[in-house]
Structure 1
Amino acid sequence: MALKKATDTEIQAFIAKYDAWRIKGGKLHREYIFNDFIEAFGFMTKAALVAQSSNHHPEWFNVYKKVVVDLTTHESAGITQLDFELAAKMEQLADLTQDLQ
């Protein structure tokens, strides 16, 4: 059974709390800039473990010190609570990265 898509109000409340996230192409979107590739890849490694444990995986890519993340729930064809939860966990991981720019 697919999860319920988030309402516009729920999405705006999330963005108000996590203001670096945006809506882009119907997905939650965030760009992280780290000091170097090692920090960026370390963040991705930690986030991958979190994503795997929740069985909810990001669309993302990395170029040097930049990590771009898009979150959506494919089976629901939109943003759901799973996306909010993964985004919030990614923010916690990014905050733990001491040298995040």
Structure 2
Amino acid sequence: MKKLSQDQIEEKLNAYPDWEYCDDAIHAEFEFENFKDCFSAMSRIAFECEAQNHHPEWKNVYNKLFISLSTHDAGGVTEKDFKLLKAIEQIVEVED
């Protein structure tokens, strides 16, 4: 998979205001009502990650979820990351 240019990434991120690009990855922070809701979203995201065979760097602190996406084999952000981003957005939207 080919690494996207910074311009390509920033153009794609215009549609996703919760995400930002830095350090060769795209990042987002999501806040939920409580830990249970956050963990529920994480579980749903985990199943999608397995289905796509693409796994984020993430951490959870109580009701907050921090996600970073990059394709390590390509050394940066690729279309694969945006495919997972779109799935994450749909999952998080349902949880709101």
Question: What range is the shorter-chain TM-score in?
Answer: over 0.9
The residue that corresponds to 2:21 in the other structure is 23
What amino acid sits opposite 1:88 in the alignment?
K
Distance in 2 (CA, whole Å) between partners of 1:38 and 1:24 is 29
Distance in 1 (CA, whole Å) between partners of 2:60 and 2:2 is 30
| Structure 1 segment 65-76 matched on structure 2, within 5 A | 65-76=63-74
Distance in 1 (CA, whole Å) between partners of 2:89 and 2:51 is 17
| Aligned structure 1 segments of 4 or more residues deviating by more than 6 angstroms | none
Where in structure 2 are there 5+ consecutive unaligned residues?
A: none
Q: How many residues align?
A: 96
| TM-score, length basis structure 1 | 0.91
| Structure 1 segment 39-78 matched on structure 2, within 5 A | 39-78=37-76
The residue that corresponds to 1:90 in the other structure is 88
Where in structure 1 are there 5+ consecutive unaligned residues?
A: none
- How far off its partner does 1:15 sit? 1.0
